[in-house]
Chains A and B, each alone.
Chain A
């Protein structure tokens, strides 16, 4: 069953990624929608067949992370100026979904020794925050691309309209402002459990805290007036840390 849902999801996301590159907007958007439906069904089947929290492995959490990213993108993706965001988001979603499958994250049946409540709160909040930061990074990349087009005085700039610089800048700030509290709570729950059990801090916890620091700095600097290109670069730096944390998962938490 999960096989029947995984492949349509992957194919639809792949079609969407290609569609965005080929400017086939309508087909791309339908790819996102249908792929999202297939992946939602996949997650539902995983949840129904598993006794506990089905995304507790690093690959499983990657599967859930992709779903969060695509869900968040769907909010904006259907609006014409934001479709270009699909150029950055959908190829990433395809790549991560393939990695999740390679790691066994799209299957069912793996057990773990953590409580469901802890996993839902800890993993869920951290993944929501990371999905938000991924979108912020996508918007920052789009901002830099759009600014470059304006600086180059590209004559085709109005033939492929993108969201305005001000819109991208403001939206990235708002999404980061919602994502950081989620990450804070997610880390708090994890650290609380560490203290309770007397476990030691691993490299991933440190990397996550550094990520939190970078994003907190981003928000503080934004409030103090940092905008534009510098803010976009800082967001991308924060996203690099998000990637690092994601890649470090199998070698630390799940080692």
Chain B
């Protein structure tokens, strides 16, 4: 049984092409059913079809036909390379932002939505395991990869759990909205979204109770000065995120006790730094993924020799039982414990004789000689009829 992958991703196709083959869950499921044993992974960055088939050429042809709209941008991988690719995808190593965590859930959804047989079932389960392992054993996914996520992570460095944290929004720029959304998903609540119509008294009143201020107006002047903040905060901790250019918040606020002011350059510097960290963690993650992919390859390769091993063991067992039957006139005089000892002894001899050939065949299978070894064993032991 072969594993075939046909797909395209952000590495090979711009969004104009990718959107032509983007599939919803229902469409992905329908396509998987049409292809037989298949899983279709479709996200905003990739559309990939994984098929398990005895005839890999035919499977590839059918998968390519399903993505014919973007054929020049398709990549085609098989068996070991296809599995390694899937493992890297699940670990977030093939993502636009290395280590992003969303892809693991998307791989799981695709697997649950597909029509996997034993091979796809195994490779997807193993890929999900590898993805989880990378996330737990490396710090690749721990640092923020965007300005808005960095703002939320900074708030956690000041306040810890953001449940109940109060956010004061000044203006409603796009990045500011994203930052607020990031903070909200971590439990914070927006107490006021101030705009040009909000009175200074209202702003000051909310400032007294807010924990985080996110500002992203298009005002050419300073919106909040240090004196106002000092008057209303009196040393209580306050994180201020200034995403506007020109800046909304008086830089002198940062000098106040308990106040931490970060502007867009500060946040971008943090993102650049954390992405560099992700890249170094990615090297560790690649090692983990390669080791897991190798384990899968060994298992997959052993499939070539498993029937031969099973036939060999069945033949040996049949010979053992036949010889015991022949010796029945003699063995019949033994009591039950003596008979059990003979049974056990002969079984052990067979097992020990077959142990090394079994191990060697599995090793040979992993080294791509498995089929030759399997044929040799069938020939030497006369197992051709038992296929």
Residue ranges of A at the interface with B (Cβ–Cβ < 8 Å) = 146, 150-151, 153, 155-159, 161-167, 227-229
Q: Which residues of chain B come closer than 8 Å to A151, judged between CB atoms?
A: 254, 260
Tell me whether B157 and A159 are in contact (CB under 8 A).
Answer: no
Question: Which secondary structure dominates chain A's binding surface?
Answer: loop
B249 to chain A, nearest CB (A): 14
| Known contacts A146-B157, A150-B158, A164-B160; is-contact A159 B254 (Cβ 8 Å) | no
B308 to chain A, nearest CB (A): 44
| Known contacts A155-B269, A158-B143; is-contact A165 B158 (Cβ 8 Å) | yes
Which of B75-83, B271-279, B295-303, B362-370 is the contact stretch? Answer: B271-279
| Known contacts A146-B157, A165-B157, A167-B160; is-contact A158 B270 (Cβ 8 Å) | yes
Residues of B in contact (CB 8 Å), total 27
Q: Which residues of chain A come closer than 8 Å to B144, judged between CB atoms?
A: 158
Q: How far is the CA of A155 from the CA of B154 in the complex (A)?
A: 11
Tell me whether B266 and A156 are in contact (CB under 8 A).
Answer: no
Q: A150-B158, A155-B270 are in contact. List 14 more A-B contacts (CB 8 A).
A: A150-B154, A153-B254, A153-B266, A153-B269, A155-B266, A155-B273, A158-B150, A158-B153, A161-B142, A161-B157, A164-B156, A166-B158, A166-B159, A228-B258
Q: How far is the CA of A157 from the CA of B239 in the complex (A)?
A: 15
Q: How far is the CA of A162 from the CA of B237 in the complex (A)?
A: 17
| Contacting residue for A164 out of B139, B157, B236, CB 8 A | B157
Residue ranges of B at the interface with A (Cβ–Cβ < 8 Å) = 139, 142-144, 150, 153-154, 156-160, 235-237, 254, 257-258, 260, 262, 266, 269-270, 272-274, 277
Closest to A169 in B: B237
| Contacting residue for B154 out of A157, A159, A167, A228, CB 8 A | A157
Q: Which residues of chain A come closer than 8 Å to B257, judged between CB atoms?
A: 228-229
Q: Which residues of chain B come closer than 8 Å to A228, judged between CB atoms?
A: 235, 237, 257-258
Tell me whether A159 and B273 are in contact (CB under 8 A).
Answer: yes
Tell me whether B158 and A159 are in contact (CB under 8 A).
Answer: no
Q: Which residues of chain B come closer than 8 Å to A164, judged between CB atoms?
A: 156-160
B320 to chain A, nearest CB (A): 50
Could you give 10 example pairs across A and B, Cβ below 8 Å? A151-B254, A157-B270, A158-B157, A159-B139, A159-B143, A159-B274, A164-B160, A165-B237, A167-B160, A228-B258
Q: Which residues of chain B come closer than 8 Å to A153, judged between CB atoms?
A: 254, 262, 266, 269
Question: Which secondary structure dominates chain B's binding surface?
Answer: helix
Q: How far is the CA of A188 from the CA of B147 in the complex (A)?
A: 56
B226 to chain A, nearest CB (A): 15
9 closest A-B pairs by beta carbon, nearest first, are A164-B160, A155-B269, A155-B273, A167-B160, A153-B266, A159-B277, A166-B160, A150-B260, A166-B159
Q: Which residues of chain A come closer than 8 Å to B274, judged between CB atoms?
A: 158-159
Q: Which residues of chain B come closer than 8 Å to A161, judged between CB atoms?
A: 142, 157
**Which has the most chain A C-beta neighbours within 10 Å: B157, B159, B266, B277?**
B157
B232 to chain A, nearest CB (A): 16
**Which has the most chain A C-beta neighbours within 10 Å: B160, B258, B260, B277?**
B160
Q: How far is the CA of A158 from the CA of B147 in the complex (A)?
A: 13
| Known contacts A158-B143, A165-B237; is-contact A150 B273 (Cβ 8 Å) | no
| Contacting residue for A156 out of B158, B237, B273, CB 8 A | B273
Q: How far is the CA of A58 from the CA of B200 in the complex (A)?
A: 63
Q: How far is the CA of A197 from the CA of B236 in the complex (A)?
A: 50
Q: Which residues of chain A come closer than 8 Å to B273, judged between CB atoms?
A: 155-156, 158-159
Q: Which residues of chain B come closer than 8 Å to A146, judged between CB atoms?
A: 157
Q: How far is the CA of A66 from the CA of B144 in the complex (A)?
A: 38
Closest to B276 in A: A159
A58 to chain B, nearest CB (A): 39
Q: Which residues of chain B come closer than 8 Å to A166, judged between CB atoms?
A: 158-160, 237
Q: Which residues of chain A come closer than 8 Å to B262, judged between CB atoms?
A: 153
Q: Which residues of chain A come closer than 8 Å to B272, judged between CB atoms?
A: 155
Q: How far is the CA of A3 from the CA of B121 in the complex (A)?
A: 57
Closest to B149 in A: A158
**Which has the most chain A C-beta neighbours within 10 Å: B142, B237, B257, B272?**
B237
| Contacting residue for B157 out of A162, A227, A229, CB 8 A | A162
Q: Which residues of chain B come closer than 8 Å to A159, judged between CB atoms?
A: 139, 143, 273-274, 277
Q: Which residues of chain A come closer than 8 Å to B277, judged between CB atoms?
A: 159
A234 to chain B, nearest CB (A): 14
Closest to B158 in A: A165
Closest to B139 in A: A159
Closest to B260 in A: A150
B165 to chain A, nearest CB (A): 10
B67 to chain A, nearest CB (A): 39
Q: Which residues of chain A come closer than 8 Å to B156, judged between CB atoms?
A: 164
Q: Which residues of chain A come closer than 8 Å to B260, judged between CB atoms?
A: 150-151
Q: Which residues of chain B come closer than 8 Å to A162, judged between CB atoms?
A: 157
A82 to chain B, nearest CB (A): 12
Q: Which residues of chain A come closer than 8 Å to B237, judged between CB atoms?
A: 165-166, 227-228
Q: Which residues of chain A come closer than 8 Å to B266, judged between CB atoms?
A: 153, 155
Q: How far is the CA of A228 from the CA of B158 in the complex (A)?
A: 11
Q: Which residues of chain B come closer than 8 Å to A163, judged between CB atoms?
A: 160
Q: How far is the CA of A167 from the CA of B237 in the complex (A)?
A: 13
A49 to chain B, nearest CB (A): 44
Q: How far is the CA of A163 from the CA of B260 in the complex (A)?
A: 16
A22 to chain B, nearest CB (A): 16
Q: Which residues of chain A come closer than 8 Å to B270, judged between CB atoms?
A: 155, 157-158
Q: Which residues of chain B come closer than 8 Å to A155, judged between CB atoms?
A: 266, 269-270, 272-273
